[in-house]
Structure formats: structure tokens, C-alpha cells
């Protein structure tokens, strides 16, 4: 696995950040990939339009776990509007790259985050 994944990606797979359910979340969003079977649920706590806490549950491969972990770190502490601009490439770059055949995993994280933000905005 080391020859395909960067140190940073391995770190986020082996010790993922923010992997938990937030029972008192202000919003949640999910996304799944029917081709590979990976699935992600993302939970947001929002204070004054800032993502104050974030939790993620991932059912998937190491790349999905790493991208979810990194997406949560990039979004935590940012405004709702800034978090909407986190892209698949931002996540891949922050992880130091991903194998070509695993880059699609970053779409799960971005989509779950955007779905959670959309659900938050609908509640307002």
C-alpha cells in the first residue's frame, strides 16, 4: 500500500480525524458510490455560519477513509460558504496525492459535505 499512497494519505487512513457520529448535529449529509459500494455520512455543527464541529462515518476503502478525514479537517473552522468551495482536487492535494484509480473517492467526501451544507441551509 505504501507505494501507492502518500505519507499524509496513510496517516489519515490509519488515524482518521473526526470519525464519529454527532448526535446533536445541525445537519447531516450522505453520499454513496454504487459502483464501488463506499458510503459516507457527514455531520455538521454550525455556530454563526462557521462549521464548529464535524463528524464523519465511512464505510469504504482506505482512500475513502483518508479523503473523508481530510475533508473534515479542511471544513472544520471554515464558513459554510468557504466549505462549499472545497473541491476534490483540494482534498487530493492536501493528502499529497492519491493513486489514479482511487481519485474518485474524493468525490464522496465533497458530495457528502455539500449535501450536509444544503440540508443545513434548508433548515434555516
Catalytic residues: 36, 105
What number of helices (H) and strands (E) belong to the chain? 5, 3
Are 28 and 39 in contact by the 8 Å Cβ rule? The answer is no
Whole-number Å distance between alpha carbons of 42 and 48: 19
What does the alpha-carbon distance between residue 81 and residue 24 come to, in Å, rounded to a whole number?
A: 22
From the list 13, 124, 121, the residue with the least C-alpha distance to 58 is 13
55, 18 in Cβ contact below 8 A? yes
Amino acid at each position: 500500500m505504501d507505494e501507492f499512497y502518500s505519507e499524509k494519505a496513510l496517516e489519515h487512513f490509519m488515524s482518521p480525524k473526526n470519525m464519529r457520529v454527532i448526535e446533536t448535529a445541525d445537519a447531516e449529509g450522505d453520499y454513496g458510490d454504487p459502483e464501488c459500494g463506499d458510503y459516507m455520512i457527514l455531520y455538521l455543527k454550525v455556530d454563526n455560519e462557521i462549521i464548529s464541529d464535524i463528524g464523519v462515518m465511512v464505510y469504504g476503502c482506505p482512500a475513502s477513509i483518508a479523503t473523508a478525514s481530510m475533508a473534515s479537517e479542511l471544513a472544520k473552522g471554515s464558513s459554510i460558504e468557504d466549505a462549499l468551495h472545497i473541491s476534490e482536487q483540494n482534498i487530493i492535494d492536501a493528502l499529497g496525492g492519491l493513486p489514479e484509480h482511487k481519485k474518485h473517492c474524493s468525490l464522496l467526501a465533497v458530495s457528502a459535505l455539500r449535501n450536509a451544507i444544503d440540508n443545513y441551509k434548508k433548515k434555516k
